[in-house]
Structures are given as C-alpha cells and as structure tokens.
Amino acid sequence: MGNLADDIEKLILHKLANQCEDIVVLKRNEMAEEIECAPSQISYVLSTRFTIERGFIVESRRGSGGFIRIERIPVHTLIYEDAAEQVVEDTMFSEAVNIVKSLTAQGMLTGREAALMLHFFDIIYEHIAPEERSAMLRSLLLKLSELT
C-alpha cells in the first residue's frame, strides 16, 4: 500500500481526469474526511506535488467557504513561457537561434515553423531596437503557447 501523500495525489489526479477541462475545485475538509486525514496533509501534497514546475496552478482559500482550485497547465505552455523568460533586452541573435533550436528539438516547432521564426528574427535583429525587439520576441513565443 502506498503512503498517504501518494493516495491524496492519486485522488486529486483522478478528480482532474474526470473533468472536461483541466480544472477541478475541491473542498479541503471534504477531501480530508474522504481520505481520513488532516486537512494539513492535503495542503502538504498541494504544496509539494502540485507546483508550477510540475504543470499546475493551485489557488486556495481557507475558512468555512474555502476551496482549492487546481488547474493543469499544458506542458507546452510552460515550455514557451520558459523560452520567453530567456529573452531580455540584450539577448544576442545567436541566443535567439538557440531558443528556436531548443523548441524544435523538444518537438514544439516543426522545421518549417523554425525556419520562419529564424527569418523573422533575422529581420527584427536587423531593423528593430533591442528594447522593442525583446518585447516582440517574447510576445511571439507567448502567442505560440496559445496556438498549440
């Protein structure tokens, strides 16, 4: 038999899987009664296993009308957001190329999409000031996360 944290995680993942969307709203006290544990144990699992790094956003409200809202973030969104965070004002063209290569290697871009992005990068690096350029590159990467 698994440990209590594993059981709590499985229950939450099961409830997420049964939703049409990747969002579930739960009551901490009801879950604790269902699993026969303390509400703090539910909180522990949420804080350690349902993190942004693992692809989840957790919103928690305490009190009598409290709830836990768990949303699964698609992995591709996290990858594009991470790529966008790498782009800063002084990002060199070679670094931007490496971001595209990395996205392609991870299967996030096709060869054709990568070629178009590199052509776009080439143009904006030649004609646009760094402070505007970085905003454009971040915007493009974040837009891709919405389209996938």
The stretch 119-141 carries a mean pLDDT of 93
**Could you give the domains of the chain?**
4-72 (3.30.56.130), 75-147 (no CATH)
Categorize the per-residue pLDDT at 8 as very low, low, confident or very high, splitting at 50, 70 and 90.
very high
- The mean of the pLDDT values for the chain is 89
Of 14, 7, 57, 13, nearest to 32 (Cα)?
7
Of 52, 37, 30, nearest to 5 (Cα)?
37
Quote the CA–CA distance of 13 and 24 in Å, as a whole number.
9
Query: Is the distance from CB of 100 to CB of 117 less than 8 angstroms?
Result: yes
Measured over the CA atoms of residue 96, residue 97, residue 101 and residue 104, the dihedral's sign is positive
User: Residue 90 has what pLDDT?
Assistant: 92
For residue 81, the number of C-alpha atoms closer than 13 Å in the C-beta half-sphere is 10
**pLDDT tens digits, 47-91:** 999 988 788 899 988 776 678 999 988 888 888 999 999 999 999
